[in-house]
Amino acid sequence: MRIGEIAALVGVTPRAVRHYHHLGLLPEPERLPNGYREYGIRDAVLLARVRRLTELGLGLDEVRDVLADDEGRELVEVLEELDADLARQEAVVRERRARLGGLLGEARAGRLTAEGPVSPELAALLAGVGELPDSPMAVKDREILALLDTVVPAEERARLLGLMHEVAGSAGAVYGLLDALADAPADDPRVEEAARALAGALPDGIGGFELPAEGSGGLADVFFADLAPAQAAAVRRALALVAERVEGGERRGGA
């Protein structure tokens, strides 16, 4: 095979083949008397492996290390590993298409939220929160939950969303109280009312859900920075009330 033929067979450009020669990823083949390179089946297999490894996300230096480990192996071993690479890619594509199919179904039914794609659990939760489109605080809640859906480990995320299902039913009145504090100072007398309403809606288990503390540059800082002073004060006070409630219950339970 000539360089154009092997490039077309493997699905790369002749320029890429020359680049791989230059980097030492693909050895120079024997040349015919007329000076043209003559490629064989092993060259095609090696070139296909380079392409497959780069498609899997390996850098060219990493590809060189992998190929160095292949030296001296029989052709059948190289082909078997290439087949395994393709099988792994095929499995990834199947899984992505399955997820995409679910998202397409949700989108066609009009149930895919603006924050999507999100997990099915969060999509179910947001369906209830989405009934309050005119509430700025509800919008903030959707945004922070979508962020948590991505950055929180799966087990913690499932526990958090389970707790938030308990809140969804009584969220409307609480959102209204918090929205009313949008332009209020932190010492506004309505803060206590909003805090007590929020604490009443929050389940005891929310106190066990740990996020990076304020001042650590973590998610808590992002969340509170997006709130008005009175809203932030109400949320902090509500969390403190929940902690007091849980502590009181533990004391009574241990008495």
Instruction: Say what the pLDDT of residue 188 is.
Output: 95
Decide: 235 and 198 in contact? Cβ < 8 Å.
yes
Query: How is residue 232 written in tokens?
Result: 């932030």
Helix axes 154-168, 136-151, angle to 10 degrees: 160
Q: What is the mean pLDDT of the chain?
A: 78
Residue matched to tokens 């007398």: 189
Give the containing element (helix H, strand E) for 201: helix 190-201
Instruction: Say what percent of the chain tops pLDDT 90.
Output: 20
Question: Which amino acid is present at 24?
Answer: G
In this prediction, residue 62 carries a pLDDT of 80
Average pLDDT of the segment spanning 214-232: 74
* Amino acid 183: pLDDT: 92
Tell me the three state secondary structure of residue 59: coil
Name the band, by pLDDT with cuts 50, 70 and 90, for residue 229: very high
Is 241 a residue whose pLDDT tops 60? yes
pLDDT digits 0-9 by tens, 126-181: 665 555 557 888 777 777 777 777 766 777 777 777 677 666 656 667 888 999 99
Task: Please name the residue ranges forming H helices in 109-228.
Answer: 120-129, 136-151, 154-168, 171-179, 190-201, 219-225
Q: How far apart are CA 92 and CA 246, in angstroms?
A: 44
The answer to which of 53-67, 129-143, 182-196, 226-240 has the lowest mean pLDDT is 129-143
Tell me the pTM. Answer: 0.50
Nearest to 211, CA basis, from 151, 146, 135, 129: 151
Residue that wins the pLDDT comparison between 153 and 62: 62
Quick one: pLDDT band at residue 19, thresholds 50, 70, 90? very high
26-50 mean pLDDT: 88
